[in-house]
A and B are shown apart, each in its own frame.
Chain A
Amino acid sequence: MDKTLEIELAEIRPKVLATARKFFRASRLDGDPEDVVQEVLLRLWVARRDGVQIRNVEAWAVSTTKNSCISLWRKKGPVRSGVYPEWLSDGRDASSLIEQSEAERMADKALERLPAGTRRLLQLRATGLSLDEIAAITGRTKGGVKTAISVARQELMKTFKTK
């Protein structure tokens, strides 16, 4: 774990959350600013992983938060609570979803049965984030993240074994 990145994510989190909350209040966007926060922090993680040079992290994070808020607003307008944020899609378009096999559809359904927060943890892990990084991005404890991932995997095992 890159300790510097973990600290950076934790330090920038309140500023990003405040910026997102301000937008949700002003636009009366119905949703969770936490979704925007996690997206922006994940983008910072990706930028660091890819070696992108960022001179002022706070300015970068605020700008990215603003862009993310507007992107969400343009796509959804006032959204219903509990809608799974679009940034957590895996990039597949509609045609590829039609072409997917029955086994893949069953697997997707099994995932959809998990709580959205838990599903997000599994996806963050599959993206390559360590438990510490996931904890910093989601604002949870490392132990909480580990337990949630373990329970989710055990649960999915039961589902996939019965198919």
Chain B
Amino acid sequence: MDRKDLIRLYLDAETTCEQEQELAASFATTPPADEEEMAVYRMLQAVRPIKLPELPEAADEYDRMVKPVKVRPFYTWGLSLAGVAAAIAAVVLHTGKPDTPGIPATPQNDYTELIQQIAFLSNFNPAEAENLEFKPVGDGFVMTAHFPDGHTASYILTPLDGGESFNLVALNQEKDHP
């Protein structure tokens, strides 16, 4: 096949890859003879093969950026509650020590409130609740536990450290009216 035929096929995208290589190679031995051949020659020069750059080994970085959203399983609530109770206990023990100079004494009613919180939390076992209600409030939510004996208990949970842990404050405990 002569070059004119190849050019006609090339412009109609009818050539094979091998024929296109043959066409390009022909210009190395025989210069373009006319305007059409010169235009094809320029086109072949202009459209260059793709050279792929090296890629980094970055699958771990991808996985960190596309981290799936974790749904906290129910048992972690128990751990969170235990953590909160432990934190409150630590505060009570710490503030129960003799006052150090310069630090004002904690009022007695604060102790009482903390002790009530601990007592309240110690009575709460999520596994015993018939159901739990969650109502969004701000960036946290109010959790209400309904127990088989008709009691309900409400708590405010606010996320800390981007949701890694929660601050839990007991609101109230009441008996459901029949």
Chain A contact residues, CB within 8 Å of chain B? 22-23, 26-27, 39, 42-43, 46, 63-64, 66-71, 73-74, 86-91, 103-104, 107-108, 110-111, 122-131, 146-147, 149-150, 153-154, 156-157, 160-161, 163
Which residue of A108, A129, A131 is within 8 Å of B46 (Cβ)?
A108
Contact A161 B50 (CB under 8 A): no
Give the interface segment out of B33-41, B97-105, B139-147, B162-170.
B33-41
Contact B47 A89 (CB under 8 A): no
Give the interface segment out of B8-16, B75-83, B107-115, B117-125.
B8-16
In the complex, A73 Cα to B64 Cα: how many Å? 13
Q: Which residues of B contact A130 (CB under 8 A)?
A: 16-17
In the complex, A126 Cα to B52 Cα: how many Å? 14
Contact A42 B66 (CB under 8 A): no
Contact B55 A161 (CB under 8 A): no
Contact B56 A123 (CB under 8 A): no
Q: Which residues of A contact B58 (CB under 8 A)?
A: 66-67, 70-71
Known: A150-B13, A153-B10. A68 touches B39 (CB 8 A): no
Number of B residues with CB within 8 Å of any CB on chain A: 34
Closest CB of chain A to B50's CB: distance in Å? Answer: 5
Contact A160 B39 (CB under 8 A): yes
Chain B contact residues, CB within 8 Å of chain A? 10-13, 16-17, 20, 35-36, 38-40, 42-43, 45-53, 55-59, 61-63, 65-67
Contact B66 A23 (CB under 8 A): yes
In the complex, A154 Cα to B55 Cα: how many Å? 35
Which residue of B11, B20, B46 is within 8 Å of A107 (Cβ)?
B46
Q: Which residues of B contact A154 (CB under 8 A)?
A: 11
Known: A67-B55, A111-B47. A157 touches B62 (CB 8 A): no
Known: A123-B47, A128-B49. 20 other contacts (CB 8 A): A23-B66, A26-B67, A27-B65, A46-B52, A63-B59, A64-B55, A66-B58, A66-B63, A87-B50, A90-B51, A107-B46, A110-B46, A125-B17, A126-B48, A129-B17, A150-B12, A157-B39, A160-B40, A160-B42, A161-B39
In the complex, A91 Cα to B54 Cα: how many Å? 11
> Can you name 7 A-B residue pairings with CB atoms under 8 Å?
A63-B59, A67-B59, A67-B62, A90-B48, A123-B49, A149-B13, A160-B43
Known: A23-B65, A107-B42, A150-B12. A71 touches B47 (CB 8 A): no
Known: A87-B52, A122-B47. A160 touches B62 (CB 8 A): no
Main secondary structure of the interface of A (DSSP, over half): helix
In the complex, A70 Cα to B42 Cα: how many Å? 36
Q: Which residues of A contact B20 (CB under 8 A)?
A: 125
In the complex, A57 Cα to B58 Cα: how many Å? 18
Which A residue's beta carbon lies closest to that of B24? A126
Most chain A beta-carbon contacts within 10 A, residue among B12, B35, B39, B62: B62
Contact B50 A69 (CB under 8 A): no
Most chain A beta-carbon contacts within 10 A, residue among B36, B61, B65: B65
Which B residue's beta carbon lies closest to that of A46? B52
Contact B56 A104 (CB under 8 A): no
